Amino acid sequence: MKNVIEILERQYQSFINQERDWNFFLGLADYVEFINKTPDFKEALSKIKEKKEKEIKIIEKLEKEAVIELQKIKKELLEIIKTEKFTCEGLPEALLKLEDYEKGKIDSNHYKSSRLNEGLRNLIKVLAEKEGIRYEELVKNYSLLKYSISKKLLLRMGKSLEFQRKKEIELWGAYDKLQLVFRLIKLGEKYLSTFKKDLGEYDEYLELLKEMEIIKNNGKRPFFSSLPSPKRDTLFDYRKKELKKDNYKLYTTRIHNYLIQELSKKESEETIKKEVKGTILYLNQNGDLYREPKDKYCYPMGEKSNRHKIIRFLATNKGYQLTKFISAELGIESEKTIRTEIGKMRNNIKKYLKIDGKDFLQSKKGSGYRINPKYKIVLKNE
């Protein structure tokens, strides 16, 4: 582990202060390739990815609910038009446009809910132009018309905006930026095949490829390029300045420091395992007391439970602790409550961890309670 940390540090120092932009980005691509291929970083990188995936799952759930809500509204509107036999100028075009929005023929790179919402808002506006109380009532039924006709869509939009803000502050946002540089340099044009040409992501990645070419050529746009032209003007200035070295130095330093911290913690845990004779257990912030493998041996006490407080107190204080002292320190008024909780913990430790609870939580008349020294509890900040 120590060797991996040293290699990572050497790799980082080899490019982080390079003056020429291309030398910096090329070194960064090598750095990313190293952390992607080295198994020691897998767990740390997975933590970053999981946080991002959690955010995406929430958005996907809201998106699905918004589409269902909007399709219900669409069905209601079409039923009204059919039943009332509405005919007005622009209605056939609005209906066709609604279908094009829903199928993605218009604004294909937007969320389906956003497209449906736009198509339905357009349809309601066309209907509302016709005189008559029926149309006025129709518009009033959708009070969110100014922004959206779906409450679920508003929630999804809010979460999407929050996601974009988090890109700038969360580690997964910085990690995504580093992965982008890796793809631009190491994969180049090959990565274009992962995008659909009718989506904005294709053109965006293509522009960044062009920008990286300019960086490689020391700020000059190459006269000849093997890259295809985007849908936009071929004379477009591809130097968007998205790839700013100072920004990427910050992204890199954040990820580098995080990896060093995670590997150092892992190294410390491995050292403890070698030094301690006995069983290693872990206690996290949620009140989970476990030993490896966690999915097999885990006693969930609850974050705010008295049991969690007692175990954490005994884990951080060596030797026997008097019951009345535990009571005073933890603000648990009844000493009887502490004795009762410890009795329950002993039973659950045997049940969940397959460890003798009385051997783990030892008691001595006149001295109180302690955790048997043969057990080492590592406190986790997860």
In a domain, 302, yes or no: yes
Contacts of 216 (CB under 8 A, 6+ apart): 22
Determine which helix (DSSP H) or strand (DSSP E) holds 12, and give its type and residue range. helix 2-15
Number of domains the chain is built from: 1
32 burial (CB, 10 Å; 0-12 / 13-18 / 19+) is buried
Question: Quick check: pTM over 0.85?
Answer: no
Task: State the pLDDT at residue 237.
Answer: 47
Task: State the pLDDT at residue 235.
Answer: 40
Give the Cα separation of 175 and 45 in Å (integer).
Answer: 9
In a domain, 244, yes or no: no
Task: State the pLDDT at residue 84.
Answer: 73
Task: State the pLDDT at residue 279.
Answer: 80
CATH at residue 325: 1.10.10.10
Task: State the pLDDT at residue 44.
Answer: 93
In a domain, 227, yes or no: no
In a domain, 317, yes or no: yes
Contacts of 336 (CB under 8 A, 6+ apart): none
Task: State the pLDDT at residue 236.
Answer: 45
Task: State the pLDDT at residue 42.
Answer: 93
Task: State the pLDDT at residue 361.
Answer: 93
Task: Name which of 334, 339, 337 is nearest 361 in CA terms.
Answer: 339
10-residue mean pLDDT profile of the chain (382 residues): values are: 86 95 96 95 94 94 94 88 79 90 82 90 78 59 68 91 94 96 93 72 85 85 62 47 90 96 82 63 92 90 91 90 89 88 93 91 91 89 71
Task: State the pLDDT at residue 58.
Answer: 95
In a domain, 321, yes or no: yes
In a domain, 304, yes or no: yes
Q: State the residue range of the domain holding 314.
A: 279-379
In a domain, 183, yes or no: no
108 in helix, strand or coil? Answer: coil
In a domain, 24, yes or no: no
